[in-house]
Chains A and B, each alone.
Chain A
Amino acid sequence: MTGSVVLNRIKDNRQARVFAQRRLEAILLRGLVTLAAGITLACFIGVVGYTVLRGLPHIHSGMFALDYNSTNMSVLPSILSTLLIVGVGLLIAAPVGIFGAVYLVEYAPRGSRLAAFFRLTTETLSGIPSIVYGLFGMLFFVFALDWDYSILAGGFTVGIMVLPTVIRSTEEALKAVPDSYREASFGLGAGKVRTIFKIILPSAVPGILSGIILSIGRIVGETAALKYTAGTVAELPGSLMDSGSSLAVLFHKLAGEGLHMENAYATAVILLLVVLAINTLAGWIAKKMRKDR
């Protein structure tokens, strides 16, 4: 009688210990993952907060003068160069990327080897580091095509660089268009091309737009690919064939020299806020698209 009670108690004890262990393990694991998420959040707040707090006080109206010289490191010429580079880059990447994605989604037969090959090369492009793009742009556009260090050479280089982003987001957007749209259009007697331009592409606009805005963000933040193609002249470019330093390239120069840290801080804030605003916009449009469906 007493023996079985003791045995039961031992069993209870053991069970209680196992339960306690399990609970401890659960608490530990939960703590670890929460800590990791906290670190991530802290990193974001740390990087953005530090840069903004240190930089904001150094922004002054003189930074937005049209002339750049060694006493006044105006960022306006670089901002205009950046806009030009973005323009040229998108002029390349947007049509090629969107049309390419149309082929992959609307024309390529299911399980097509050719389409798989195109996707593989697109993925390869997206994995290539920006310094490699920079050297390629230098060897091809700057030297082989003799465009010299110019906005045009920089724009073409970053255009190729963001091509995968445009293709992938367009592909996603096209795939999300319901087949009933296509069938209805065909049923009304429209041809394939007409269906694509009048029905499919218009309803995929938000997805495509969000990809393009994401590309703009990447181009604005790009340094290595532009330094050796668009050059580092921080003055107002007279034409597309002139060298023009983008904002990020100018910032890299300022930070690297370490002579004008106040200017570097201020430029960092402008660059960071512009890119964050662009990316937030892209995220917002993508989210809106998902809600509309």
Chain B
Amino acid sequence: MKKSEYIMKAVFLTAAAMSVLAVALICIFLLKGGLPAMLEIGPVNFLLGTVWKPGNDLYGILPMIMGSLCVTAGAILLGVPIGLLAAVYMACFCPKKLYKILSPCVQLLAGIPSVVYGFFAMVVIVPFVRDFLGGSGNSMLTASILLGLMILPTIIMQSEASIRAVSNTCYEGSLALGATKERSVFKAVLPAARSGVMAGIVLGIGRAIGETMAVVMVAGNQPRMPKGILEGVRTMTTNIVMDMAYATDLHREALIATAVVLFGFILVINLTFNLLNRKGEKKS
């Protein structure tokens, strides 16, 4: 009897430790696959080089890092205001009947496969940008709109939850002081939910910077420094997908090294998310 209890506890513990094993394996194999190439190219040449011409043995991924940052910034600029305001509406002003429709819609929006988003952007947003703003349509702006749309549910769900977690006394106190409902929400409730909202934004950044298959369909993917919002860009993720099909040897390893850099970005973003979340928990 006692023995089986110990055995099962060991089984449960092993299962819980699997996520550690998975993270460790991912780190080891990515580093093993990417670091040699990074060292051969030279970390400075690799990270700060502005030319990506595998044919001439030039592997600089700065254009892609910049591309990822620009596209992500664009997505945040578009997605965060809309997402945050929509979350405020859903948490504070939404009639119950409408909420029953709106909330499942947001959840389903989060579940739509990224390829479907990419396809939608390819057949709807690309022609729209091309016809109304010029350029080929496969551009930084298109990718930003697409990613802004994709991170919308993440930001809404996280922000709504943290707004709802703010104690009602904040809101009622402000009402009692004579402020309007709207003013109370924006001046009393929203500041109290700040760290949760920030955590949602960071989560959105993580999603945007890591998105691959949708972006590759609309970003143009030219491997050069970002030139303007109507010009094509290549991000770190799309760099991997574009070249993986035919890359060999050092070129292939350079792509894995790109993934290592991306992984580094993600780790920093995750850490920030964790810190913000803990701060939010402590407050409430």
Q: Chain A residues in contact with chain B, CB under 8 A? A: 22-23, 25-26, 29-30, 32-37, 39-41, 43-44, 46-48, 50-51, 54, 95-104, 106-108, 115, 117-118, 120-125, 127-133, 135-136, 139-140, 144, 160, 163-164, 167, 191-193, 196, 214, 217-218, 220-224, 227-228, 248, 251-252, 255-256, 264, 268, 271-272, 275-276, 278-280, 283
How many A-B residue pairs have C-beta atoms within 8 angstroms? Tell me: 259
Tell me if B's interface is mostly helix, strand, loop or mixed.
Answer: helix
Interface string of B224-241 (1 = CB under 8 A from A): 000000000000010011
A100/B183 contact (C-beta < 8 A), A139-B256, A255-B118, A271-B113 known:
no
Contact A122 B118 (CB under 8 A): no
Instruction: Tell me if B12 is interfacial: C-beta within 8 Å of chain A.
Output: yes
CB atoms of B116 and A272 under 8 A apart: yes
> Closest 9 interchain pairs by CB?
A129-B210, A221-B113, A36-B85, A99-B15, A103-B12, A279-B111, A33-B89, A100-B16, A103-B16
Instruction: Report how far A191 CA is from B111 CA in the complex, Å.
Output: 40
Asked if B105 contacts A40 (CB within 8 A), the reply is yes
> How far is A227 from B106 in the complex, measured between Cα atoms in Å?
28
Q: Which of A96, A100, A131, A276 contacts B212 (CB 8 A)?
A: A131
Interface window among B20-28, B41-49, B136-144 = B20-28
Residues of B contacting A283 with CB < 8 Å? 104, 107
Closest B residue to A274 using CB positions: B113
Give the complex CA separation of A160 and B185 in angstroms.
41
Chain A residues lying within 8 Å of B112, measured Cβ to Cβ, are 47-48, 221, 272, 275-276
Question: Known contacts A36-B82, A221-B113; is A118 also within 8 Å of B19 by CB?
Answer: yes
Residues of A within 8 A of B101 (CB): 41
Expressed in whole angstroms, the Cα–Cα distance for A55 and B109 within the complex equals 19
Cβ contacts under 8 Å, B241 to chain A:
131, 224, 227
Decide: B111 and A192 in contact? CB cutoff 8 A.
no
Segment of B52-60, B165-173, B260-268 in the binding face: B260-268
Task: Find A41's partner among B102, B116, B181 (CB 8 Å cutoff).
Answer: B102
B71 at the interface (CB under 8 A from A): no
**CB<8 Å pairs between A and B, sample of 28:** A30-B182, A33-B89, A34-B89, A35-B85, A36-B81, A36-B84, A36-B88, A40-B109, A40-B156, A41-B101, A47-B117, A47-B120, A50-B120, A50-B124, A51-B119, A100-B17, A118-B19, A124-B270, A127-B269, A131-B262, A132-B259, A221-B111, A221-B115, A224-B212, A271-B113, A272-B112, A275-B112, A283-B107
A47-B120, A129-B266 known; A136 vs B15 contact (CB < 8 Å): no
The reply to whether B16 and A99 contact each other, CB–CB distance below 8 Å, is yes
What is the CA–CA distance of A255 and B17 in the complex, to the nearest angstrom?
Answer: 40
